[in-house]
Chain A
Amino acid sequence: MNDKSTNSLPLGEMSEGQRGLLYNYILGIADNSMILGQRLGELCGHGPSLETDIACTNVSLDLFGQVRNYFQYAAEIAGEGKTEDDIAFLRKEREYKNVLLVEQPNTDFAYTIVRQFLFDVYHLLFLEQMQNSEDETLAAIAKKSIKEVSYHERFSTDWIKRLGDGSEESQQRIQKAVDNLWTYTDELFHQTTADKAMVSIGVAVDVTTLKDAYYAKVNSVLEIATIEIPESKWFQKGGKNGVHTEHFGFLLADMQYMQRTYPGMEW
């Protein structure tokens, strides 16, 4: 998008190869929302208060709404009668392209809210850029989603401040979750082959350009929340290329259970 000299092509004029890259690019975006939405959905009925249950479910619903928009578009690109559900439920583990961060489990509410915060800050920066995509559908999805994600970011930021600067226990727990999830943040700014190809035609967001703004925002919030910024410079990666953490297989086993047990049926 930074380079406007090369125009993107309408779907019909894309080569088979380009369509494949666009498809993969969309999965990379949508899988993040889907897997995070799935994790939040697991919490419904088990949160610290009724009010937080309702709030976290709202975030989950927003994310799944976005996922459906992305996958409906991806299904159109894939053709061959593919549906949003085929894409959502019928891939193998290696074919899911979400970052490792979003698949991390709900160890406690600190992990849930830190994971949310670390993703929301990225997600908002990402969507702000994607509004300018040469791909009209993606730009439109970004415009719609950005309002939701602005709210998510505010919500998780408030909670980080509240619990970070709350009681001794809540501060310790937030610190621990930040320490343990920090290692998954760098991957947000890695580019896949599909990313690079789509950046070159103005469709994709160049995520490498978001990094400074991301850490500036995250660090400033953590500082207010009296949370120490981890010093570790060693980061985990792999999700974007389909190499996931051990948690992921179990998440998929749950999510795909019906589609795998009863193949080819409609629900």
Chain B
Amino acid sequence: MKNNWPLWEVFIRSKNGLEHKHCGSLHASDAEMALVNARDVYTRRMEGVSIWVVESKNITATNPDNNGELFEPAQDKVYRHPTFYKLPDELKHM
């Protein structure tokens, strides 16, 4: 029988105050095993205080072919950045 363990993505919070960050993937037969495996594989050197796992097939991702329409329109919206606004030099800390 060829019944392979599915792939899971692992996200780890390295310490309280920081966000969970993707750190890799692994195989496991179910979510509980994925958590345990993630603990054993990805936190052997005190890398984490919290783990999320999600089965890879449940992740919906953008298609890089659409990157133009998705991400380029933001490029000319310079008014969203503080440097767009001209202020007198005397004014400090704003």
Contacts and interface: CB of A to CB of B under 8 A. Distances in A.
Query: Are A and B associated in one complex?
Result: yes
Interface residues of B, number: 12
Q: Say which size band chain A's interface belongs to.
A: 10 to 19
A162 B40 contact: no
A24 B26 CA distance: 44
B5 A49 contact: yes
A162 B40 CA distance: 18
Given A51-B41, A58-B44, A155 B27 contact: no
A49 B3 CA distance: 13
B56 interface: no
Interface string B10-54: 000000000000000011110011001100110010000000000
B44 A51 contact: no
A50 to B, nearest CB: 8
Contacts of A51: 26-28, 33, 37, 40-41
Contacts of B41: 51, 54
Nearest to A158: B32
A55 B27 CA distance: 13
Interface string A188-221: 0000000000000000000000000000000000
A55 B44 contact: no
Contacts of B36: 55, 154-155, 158
Interface of A: 49-51, 54-55, 58, 154-155, 158, 162
26 contacts: A49-B5, A49-B27, A50-B27, A51-B26, A51-B27, A51-B28, A51-B33, A51-B37, A51-B40, A51-B41, A54-B37, A54-B40, A54-B41, A54-B44, A55-B36, A55-B37, A55-B40, A58-B40, A58-B44, A154-B36, A155-B36, A158-B32, A158-B33, A158-B36, A162-B29, A162-B33
A-B pairs, 8 with minimum CB distance: A51-B37, A55-B40, A54-B40, A58-B40, A54-B41, A51-B26, A51-B27, A155-B36
Given A55-B40, A158-B36, 8 more contacts: A49-B5, A51-B40, A54-B37, A55-B36, A58-B40, A58-B44, A154-B36, A158-B32
Interface of B: 5, 26-29, 32-33, 36-37, 40-41, 44
